[in-house]
Amino acid sequence: MSTARAPLRFSIEHWAAFWDNPHPDLAGRVVTPDVVGHCPGDTEPARGVTQYKQRITCLLERIPDLRLEVAEHASNGDFLFVHWIARGTGADGPFAFSGVDRIRLRDGLVKEIRTYYDPARLDSPLGRRT
């Protein structure tokens, strides 16, 4: 009897479970060591697990109750696409906006993620007027 576990393979279910109760350490379990994360407004992409987790930590520090839900999703080979709806609480109270993640997988783990949304939709509810 083998006690080896099958390697983790990232899926839309992982994405949904993470954003239902996000914690940066959980994100580090489903990415490649050389993961690259692109987000609107960032001057440079996050490179590697440490930077990737730091970006999530900063986001959750700004919006502790941030949750994302899957509105639609699709896959094409090693790519996953997630149209999501974000909800949280900002300076003016509850807010919601939508965006898209384009996720490239390698060996079943997240190698690259490109997040698309209008940064003004996030900055305005947090008290940063654009």
For the stretch 61-75, pLDDT in tens is 989 999 999 999 999
Question: What's the mean pLDDT when you consider all of the chain?
Answer: 88
For the stretch 73-96, pLDDT in tens is 999 999 999 999 999 998 888 999
pLDDT at 125: 55
How many angstroms separate the first and last alpha carbons of the chain?
60
Domain ranges of the chain: 12-123
CATH class of the domain defined by 12-123: alpha beta
pTM value? Answer: 0.84
Cα dist. 38→2, 4, 81, 92, 127 in Å?
Answer: 39, 34, 14, 27, 23
Q: Any bridge partners for residue 110, and if so which? A: 31, 105
